[in-house]
Amino acid sequence: MTHLDPNLRLTINGGNSPGSVVIFTCQSGFHPVGETRLTCEGGSWSPSFPTCAADVPDDTGPLLGPDDCNCELWERCVANSNGPSTCHCIHPRQCDDVGQEQYCGSDGRTYPSICRMKAGGCLLDLDIQVVSNGPCPENDYAACGYSEYAEQRIFGRISGGTDAAEGQWPWQVALFCHRNCTRCEPRFFCGGSLIARNWVLSAAHCFERCPWSAIRVYTGIRNKSRSALRLVDPALVYTLDGDDALIKHEAFNSDLDNDIAVLRLSRDVMLSSGIRPICMPKLAMKERTLYSPHGEPPYVAGWGTTQPYDYGNLCFDGYRPTSSLLKFLIVPMRTDRECRDSFINHYECTGVSFYKPAIAFCAGVPEGGLDACKGDSGGPVMRQMTVADGSKRWVQIGIVSWGEGCAVEGRYGIYTRLSAYTDWIESHIEFSTTEHATDQDSTTVLSTESKTEDYSLCGRNGKLRHQPYSRIAGGSFAEHGDWPWQVALFCDLGIAGCYECVPRFFCGGSLIARNWVLSAAHCFRGNRCPWSDIRVYTGILDKSTNLLREFDPSLVYNLDGEDALIKHEEYNDRSLDNDIALLRLSRNATLSPNVRPICMPQPTMQGEVTPYCTCNYGSG
Residues 482 and 603 in one domain: yes
Identify each DSSP E strand in 364-498 by its residue range. 380-386, 392-402, 413-417, 431-434, 443-446, 486-491
What's the half-sphere exposure (Cβ side, CA atoms, 13 Å) at 538?
A: 32
In terms of Cα–Cα distance, which of 219, 193, 254 is closest to 397? Answer: 193
The DSSP H or E segment spanning 336 is helix 336-346
Identify each DSSP E strand in 34-164 by its residue range. 37-41, 44-46, 51-54, 63-64, 75-78, 86-89, 103-104, 110-111, 162-163
Report yes or no on 485 lying in a domain. Answer: yes
pLDDT over threshold 80, residue 564 = yes
Verify whether residue 159 is a known catalytic residue. Answer: no
Order of all β-strands in the sheet with 327-330 = 162-163, 327-330, 299-302, 380-386, 392-402, 413-417, 360-363
CATH of the domain at 573: 2.40.10.10
- Give the mean model confidence (pLDDT) for residues 339-343: 75
Which of 419, 441, 463 marks a domain boundary?
419
In percent, the amount of the chain with pLDDT more than 90 equals: 19
pLDDT at 285: 63
Give the tens place of pLDDT for each residue, 426-441.
Answer: 888 864 443 323 334 4
Domain that holds residue 494: 455-620
Verify whether residue 205 is a known catalytic residue. Answer: yes
Answer for the pair 326, 192: CB distance below 8 angstroms, yes or no. Answer: no
159: exposed, middle or buried (Cβ count in 10 Å: 0-12, 13-18, 19+): middle
How far is the C-alpha of 66 from the C-alpha of 545, rounded, in Å? 65
Higher pLDDT, 532 or 615: 532
Verify whether residue 377 is a known catalytic residue. Answer: yes
pLDDT at 63: 44
Answer for the pair 203, 378: CB distance below 8 angstroms, yes or no. Answer: yes
- 132, 273, 377, 592: which one is catalytic? 377
- 88, 125, 205, 376: which one is catalytic? 205
pLDDT at 201: 96
* Residues facing 265 on adjacent strands: 240
The DSSP H or E segment spanning 198 is none
pLDDT at 588: 87
How far is the C-alpha of 54 from the C-alpha of 152, rounded, in Å? 53
Residues 491 and 589 in one domain: yes
> Residue 279 in 3-state DSSP?
strand
- 125, 244, 259, 441: which one is catalytic? 259
Q: Where are the alpha helices (DSSP H) in 80-235?
A: 117-120, 125-132, 226-229
- Give the mean model confidence (pLDDT) for residues 191-218: 92
Residues 384 and 463 in one domain: no
Answer for the pair 324, 306: CB distance below 8 angstroms, yes or no. Answer: no
How far is the C-alpha of 166 from the C-alpha of 60, rounded, in Å? 52
In terms of Cα–Cα distance, which of 237, 227, 220, 236 is closest to 164? Answer: 220
Residues 485 and 620 in one domain: yes
Report yes or no on 169 lying in a domain. Answer: no
Report yes or no on 175 lying in a domain. Answer: no
Single-letter amino acid code for the residue at 526: G
Give the tens place of pLDDT for each residue, 138-175.
Answer: 445 667 887 766 444 433 222 356 888 888 899 999 99
> Which residues, in sequence order, are CB contacts of 306 under 8 Å at separation 6+?
159, 160, 161, 323, 327, 373
CATH of the domain at 92: 2.10.70.10
pLDDT over threshold 90, residue 482 = no
How far is the C-alpha of 273 from the C-alpha of 523, rounded, in Å? 58
Indicate the pLDDT class of residue 220, thresholds 50, 70 and 90.
very high
In terms of Cα–Cα distance, which of 591, 538, 514, 598 is closest to 244? Answer: 591
Report yes or no on 69 lying in a domain. Answer: yes
How far is the C-alpha of 503 from the C-alpha of 533, rounded, in Å? 9
* Residues facing 446 on adjacent strands: 431
DSSP 8-state symbol, 473: T
Report yes or no on 438 lying in a domain. Answer: no
Residues 415 and 509 in one domain: no
What's the half-sphere exposure (Cβ side, CA atoms, 13 Å) at 586?
A: 15
169: exposed, middle or buried (Cβ count in 10 Å: 0-12, 13-18, 19+): buried
pLDDT at 434: 36
Indicate the pLDDT class of residue 119, thresholds 50, 70 and 90.
very low
pLDDT at 354: 63
Residues 362 and 476 in one domain: no
Give the tens place of pLDDT for each residue, 83-112.
Answer: 667 666 554 434 334 443 444 333 444 433
Give the tens place of pLDDT for each residue, 361-397.
Answer: 888 876 655 555 666 789 999 988 876 666 788 889 9
How many Cβ atoms are within 10 Å of 522's Cβ, its own excluded?
16
Give the tens place of pLDDT for each residue, 63-90.
Answer: 444 445 666 544 556 666 566 676 665 5
Residues 405 and 481 in one domain: no
Report yes or no on 385 lying in a domain. Answer: yes
Residues 511 and 387 in one domain: no
Indicate the pLDDT class of residue 512, thresholds 50, 70 and 90.
very high
How many Cβ atoms are within 10 Å of 284's Cβ, its own excluded?
13
Answer for the pair 76, 67: CB distance below 8 angstroms, yes or no. Answer: no
| Count of domains observed in the chain | 3
Give the tens place of pLDDT for each residue, 250-297.
Answer: 999 888 889 999 999 998 888 887 898 998 887 556 677 788 877 778
Give the tens place of pLDDT for each residue, 222-239.
Answer: 998 888 888 888 889 999
Give the tens place of pLDDT for each residue, 36-49.
Answer: 777 766 556 677 77
What's the half-sphere exposure (Cβ side, CA atoms, 13 Å) at 474?
A: 4
Residues 393 and 531 in one domain: no
- Give the mean model confidence (pLDDT) for residues 175-202: 87
pLDDT at 380: 93
Of 118-122, 205-209, 351-355, 405-409, the least confident: 118-122
> Which residues, in sequence order, are CB contacts of 321 under 8 Å at separation 6+?
305
Report yes or no on 161 lying in a domain. Answer: no
Q: pLDDT averaged over the chain?
A: 70
pLDDT at 170: 92
Report yes or no on 42 lying in a domain. Answer: yes
- Give the mean model confidence (pLDDT) for residues 592-611: 68
Residues 598 and 492 in one domain: yes
Residues 480 and 566 in one domain: yes
Order of all β-strands in the sheet with 75-78 = 63-64, 75-78, 86-89
> Residue 252 in 3-state DSSP?
coil
Residues 345 and 398 in one domain: yes
Which of 419, 437, 472 marks a domain boundary?
419
> Residue 130 in 3-state DSSP?
helix
- Give the mean model confidence (pLDDT) for residues 517-535: 89
Which of 112, 132, 152 marks a domain boundary?
132
